[in-house]
Amino acid sequence: SQKIEQNSEALNIQEGKTATLTCNYTNYSPAYLQWYRQDPGRGPVFLLLIRENEKEKRKERLKVTFDTTLKQSLFHITASQPADSATYLCALDVGGYNKLIFGAGTRLAVHP
């Protein structure tokens, strides 16, 4: 069955450092992968989308890589700030009509 794995352990980093979150998947070949941010008690907010033929995508302090051979995506936040503290979810398309399956998310805590 399709499986998405994100590090279930919380990631604690110091303000100003780069946070790197990992998303691994098995038994699937997605055409694209998305990253979302979710704050407690809120719905997810879209951050970045990367297609299978793209190696890297950037948006301000965010960078996403997509390695279809390793079946892995890395999500980086540079110059992290306490306001970046949240849970970050990766999601894969499962074919047509924008149907997505989500990983469980990694909680990031950025300390001053």
Partner 1 sequence: GAVVSQHPSWVICKSGTSVKIECRSLDFQATTMFWYRQFPKQSLMLMATSNEGSKATYEQGVEKDKFLINHASLTLSTLTVTSAHPEDSSFYICSASPGQGTHSNQPQHFGDGTRLSIL
Binding residues for partner 1, rule: CB under 8 A, are 4, 31-32, 34, 36, 41-46, 49, 51, 89, 91, 93, 96-105
26 exposure class (CB count in 10 Å sphere: 0-12, 13-18, 19+): exposed
Residue 71: CA atoms inside 13 Å, Cβ hemisphere, count? 13
For partner 1, the closer CB: 82 or 95: 95
For partner 1, the closer CB: 42 or 60: 42
Nearest to 77 by CA among 102, 103, 106: 106
**Least distance from C-beta 16 to partner 1, angstroms?**
28
For partner 1, the closer CB: 3 or 17: 3
**Least distance from C-beta 78 to partner 1, angstroms?**
22
Sign of the dihedral through C-alpha 27, 33, 35, 41: negative
